[in-house]
Structure 1
Amino acid sequence: MAGWEDVRELALGLPDTTETLSRGEMHWRVHHKAFVWERRLRRPDLEELHLDEQGGPVLAARVEDEAVKRALVVEDRSVFFTTRHFDGWPVVLVRLDRISRRRLSEVVAEAWLSRAPARLAREHLESFPD
């Protein structure tokens, strides 16, 4: 399964991505906009999820919209989830220790595309052979 080094490698492999530490959590940004970041579960999150403690690493990832977030959660509840904190926000939470590196690469790339300037995203997509 995936880990933080996988997230780092995948995120930094995308154009104009930077890595920052904010409030003790790692963030990967494109043009100063976070697209994936480390998300420790806070007390209200744990209570909502009926957990005593966070069981493993959690990645927050931007998605295109709420419909995409809901679809991911329905697709695989063992990997994708959300909390009330993110109601109304296009962000899905990912249990990093339960996602394959291949699926993680898709999540990171889609998150990047959702935050990258249109021209940069288009240039990046055009760089792939047909």
Structure 2
Amino acid sequence: MGGRGRRARVADVHAVARGMPFVTVWEREDGTDRPVYQIGGKSFVFFRTARPDAVDPETGEKYDDVIMIWTESEDEKLALVSDEATPFFSTPHFDGHPSVLVRASRIGELSKQELTEIIQDAWLSRASQRRATNWLKEHRL
């Protein structure tokens, strides 16, 4: 990964996720800016609160900027987290769950194009077959 256009920004996560069709945004009641982006009631991008499963190995402090992004499959997840060129990671809490984690502070290690493709794939993995097929017909060759 890397090298395909400008660096991604956290604002791109919001813009791309919100820009997919039929997306609803669930805002937290506690007033924090940690939206959950959903398609058909299924989350595909999720800004997490600090949790004990994702901590700084040096300080033990919980990461407060983790974004969860669904993947198409466990194989896709493993490909992303095992590629040292990406900022993606997982924790034992997500073993067997088709999603990757990324810290917002490291999102710039991806290009905007790479981030866009990952979020689009997340949406496709959670959308109904009809919606996914229609979107693919409109956007892919």
Q: TM-score range, shorter-chain basis? A: 0.7 to 0.9
Q: For structure 1, which runs of at least 5 residues remain unmatched after alignment?
A: none
Aligned residue identity for 1:90: P
Aligned CA RMSD, in angstroms, stands at 2.3
> What SS does the corresponding residue of 2:72 show, helix, strand or coil?
coil
Q: For structure 2, which runs of at least 5 residues remain unmatched after alignment?
A: 1-6
Pairing 1:13–2:24 present:
no
Measured in 1, the distance between the counterparts of 2:64 and 2:10 equals 11
In structure 2, the CA distance between the partners of 1:44 and 1:120, relative to structure 1 (3 Å rule), is closer
Superposed, 1:1-130 pairs within 5 Å as 1-22=7-28, 24=32, 25-46=34-55, 49=57, 51-54=59-62, 57-76=65-84, 78-98=86-106, 99-128=110-139, 130=141
Superposed CA offset, 1:64-94 (max 9, x none): 1111111101123650100011011101112
Amino-acid identity (%): 35
Q: Scaled by the length of structure 1, what TM-score is found?
A: 0.84
Aligned pair count? 129
Which structure features the higher share of strand residues? Answer: 1
**TM-superposed deviation, 1:3:** 3.4
Q: Residue 3 of structure 1 contacts residue 97 of structure 1 at CA under 8 Å; is this kept in 2?
A: no
